[in-house]
Structure 1
Amino acid sequence: MITQRVGPRVLGVAVLCLAFAASPALAAPTPTTAPVHLALAAPATDGDRAPSLTVRTLKFGLDVPWDLDFLPNGGMLYTERARKRITYRGPQGTTYVVADSPGNVWAEGETGMMAILVAKSFRQTRRFFTCHGSTAGGSPDVRVVMWRLAADNRSARRIKSIVTNLPTTTGRHGGCRLRYGSEGALYIGTGDAAQTPNPQNLRSGGGKVLRVVPTTGRGWPTNAFSGSAHAMKRRVFTSGHRNVQGLALRADGRMWSVEHGTYRDDEANLLRNGGNYGWQPGPGYDESSPMTDFSLPGKQIGARWRSGTPTIAPSGATFLRGPKWGVWQGGLALGVLGDQHLRILKFSPEGKWIRSWKPPALDGRYGRLRSVVMGPGNDLYVTTANGSGQDRILRVTPRG
């Protein structure tokens, strides 16, 4: 196990970040790229000093571990995107590959074996969910699949697909994130597949956050469009998204999303049932379009935080919990791909952005950061996304 401990540093209120989009068609920065930031208008005081972080490498030699989640026994399941693999890691570090390139799983561009979520009923059912590319229907799509982990944790089998036909073409903007809501619903964040009509088309699953019944994949009964005759529209919780990369449930029970901007304005959004977040890149998938186009018909909802220009390419997100996180407790932690760091955003109870931090322990030291997940003991677990078998799962612990 590799351990590093580094002291705190505070990020500026206004940020100018040298970053690249997460699309493989664009060049990623090297690990030595030096981002540019402005200073805070006022430094932190002793009363809100950020904690130091201890970073330990739990696993090295992975290839884009896209997501992870924890089991009741303290073990974890994690995915590797391009390897199309799901692995169990026990509390003592023993690992078993439980699914290795299962049939019809499709990996191309940004798509592959992506999100993973352990079912709330796992103790009784041993079920978990993944979201991955698939060719099971002939042409590629992205779908949410229910699995069962064997009692000995050495294998898993697919039970059924609960949501299918989430759009993808080349794999661009074909990501997928899964989270439980406080009401027990399953939330599914999707990309727009770089197809102009999808974000505003309520019959498309692309560029949306869907909310479904976990056991069936049917639309949650209180969704804004639950009375529609169209099955996908009944699933829609929010629309008008470009490329949702993260979903995070705040302690107050409200769901937030994190998504990639174009050359500007990555976003953190507070989600509202039936809300339209204003991405409409038409005609011709015009990426100079604003992330929130307030000229569209109806009412659009603006972001609670934007990166500005250029983007930093945030990905997974979680709200930090537990008093050991100090001033960061309750902050929204983002894994950042393009600018290669951990970003922590503090919001007021009403959702107004207050300030940001960029802990030096995870600033450019491990390359591109993909997923951030709260784990046992309120430690933070982080996956990297550098490829070529050079990736890690990190455990991050705050220290005073």
Structure 2
Amino acid sequence: MSARRTGPGAACAALLLTGCAAGGLGPAGEQLGAPAGAPDLEVQTVVDGLSNPWDVALTPGGTALVTERGGRLLAHDAQGTREVAADLDDLFVGSEAGLMGLAVSPEFDRTREFFLCHATRTEDGGPRDVRVTRWRLDGSARAAERTGTVVDGLPISTGRHSGCRLRFAPDGTLRVGTGDAAQGENPQDLGSLGGKTLRLHPDGTVPDDNPFADRPGSAAAVYTLGHRNVQGLAVQPGTGDMWSAEHGPGRDDEINELRPGGNYGWDPVPGYDESTPMTDLEKFPDAVEAAWSSGRPTVAVSGAAFLEGPQWGAWDGALAVAELKNTGVGVYRVEGAGITGTTRMEELENDYGRLRSLTLDEEGALWVTTSNGGDDAVLRVTARPAS
């Protein structure tokens, strides 16, 4: 583990966005101010030499599991980094699809279970679907056995807009953020799992109180609809509310608070019309407006995590969101269902390229994966109050 960069961020964070912090637009178009009192950060490279690591999750014992989009599953602990033997012979890799989201069971100490979201292929090698599967890790973290399928049939076309982020909610349900597969009818079709967030029990059954569980013709697992390509899911400490980050077309990446049964307004029909608004309030007056949107240009928001702990200073409770295009991490102050301020983590700005996944460990440190297609890394960011 090697230190790469340290430095203060408080000076920049105390300025408005017209200063050194790049920012976005709120739903009404206002510029948002940045919070003061940002912590000092230290960035360490935990694992390097990777290729498109898509997600990272920590077991209670501190082992980091890492997915690479090309199909490798890795484990990192005090003994080093090693590939985990896992039968993914049915994996489809193409465009944005492959081995993607990862979540460790809240019952891992008892079950050693974790969950993967990945694309699968047909016998002739073409794309079949995206699915979530359940696995059991052996005691040495060197092999994993697939023990079941939680949900399958998530749509796929070329591999574009395949989602797929996994997060456990405080109620023990598994949430899945999906993509629309670049097929225009999927986001508003309640019979499709594309362009949605899903809510399932870990065994694949559907909670009775899901908002569309009893609606004829609807997929019972659907929790929210009208999404384009969900890339980040994060649970807010204290409230247990789930937030999402998703890609817009040529404008308006969004951060959303997820409400049961909410329609987030993406409906690019006829065909796949990407000039359509991300949240089309003319077509859907009751659509849930974004808590934050990028305007133009987009920043390609990706993984998300709420920061937690006194070491984060004024950022304690803020939402951190990785960016693929802006090659950094935005920090968003959340109040109620809205975002009232934003700034950036200077120590990650431009030095590590595209950033995809964010995960907080038990000590409150932030784990980050890069996504540059070669010589990628897993980073660990620790904070301390500004001196």
1:5 aligns with 2:6: yes
CA shift digits 1:194-252 (9 cap, x unpaired): 0000000001000000001111x22221111111345x611010000000000001011
1:192 aligns with 2:180: yes
Runs of 4+ in 1 over 6 A off after TM superposition: 14-18, 40-43
Q: TM-score, normalised by structure 1?
A: 0.88
**Residues 135-174 of structure 1 aligned to structure 2 (within 5 Å):** 135=121, 139-174=127-162
Counterpart of 1:254? Answer: 241
Selected match of 2:43 from 55, 65, 71: 55
Counterpart of 1:132? Answer: 118
Which amino acid letter does the alignment assign opposite residue 180 of structure 2? D
1:266 shift after superposition = 0.5
**Could you tell me how far apart the structure 1 residues matched to 2:326 and 2:148 are?**
38
Counterpart of 1:95? Answer: 81
RMSD: 2.0
For structure 2, list consecutive stretches of 5 or more residues without a partner in the other structure: 25-30
Which amino acid letter does the alignment assign opposite residue 63 of structure 2? G
Selected match of 1:370 from 356, 368, 376: 356
1:112 shift after superposition = 0.5
The answer as to whether partners of 2:307 and 2:320 remain within 8 angstroms in 1 is yes
1:297 shift after superposition = 4.7
1:129 shift after superposition = 0.3
The answer as to whether partners of 2:73 and 2:84 remain within 8 angstroms in 1 is yes
Which amino acid letter does the alignment assign opposite residue 220 of structure 2? R
Counterpart of 1:178? Answer: 166
The answer as to whether partners of 2:164 and 2:176 remain within 8 angstroms in 1 is yes
1:114 aligns with 2:100: yes
1:300 aligns with 2:287: yes
Counterpart of 1:36? Answer: none
Which amino acid letter does the alignment assign opposite residue 105 of structure 2? A
**Could you tell me how far apart the structure 1 residues matched to 2:122 and 2:362 are?**
36
Which amino acid letter does the alignment assign opposite residue 259 of structure 1? E
CA shift digits 1:169-200 (9 cap, x unpaired): 11100120001111111100000000000000
1:136 shift after superposition = 5.7
Counterpart of 1:322? Answer: 309
Which amino acid letter does the alignment assign opposite residue 2 of structure 2? I
Selected match of 1:279 from 251, 255, 266: 266
> How many residues in Structure 1 have an aligned counterpart in Structure 2?
370
Selected match of 1:242 from 203, 206, 228: 228
**Could you tell me how far apart the structure 2 residues matched to 1:315 and 1:188 are?**
14
**Could you tell me how far apart the structure 2 residues matched to 1:85 and 1:123 are?**
24
Counterpart of 2:59? Answer: 71
Which amino acid letter does the alignment assign opposite residue 6 of structure 2? R
Q: TM-score, normalised by structure 2?
A: 0.91
**Residues 320-399 of structure 1 aligned to structure 2 (within 5 Å):** 320-348=307-335, 350-388=336-374, 390-399=375-384
**Could you tell me how far apart the structure 2 residues matched to 1:380 and 1:137 are?**
40
Which amino acid letter does the alignment assign opposite residue 94 of structure 2? E
**Could you tell me how far apart the structure 2 residues matched to 1:158 and 1:141 are?**
17
The answer as to whether partners of 1:17 and 1:312 remain within 8 angstroms in 2 is no
For structure 1, list consecutive stretches of 5 or more residues without a partner in the other structure: 19-39
Counterpart of 1:33? Answer: none
**Could you tell me how far apart the structure 2 residues matched to 1:95 and 1:41 are?**
41
Amino-acid identity (%): 43
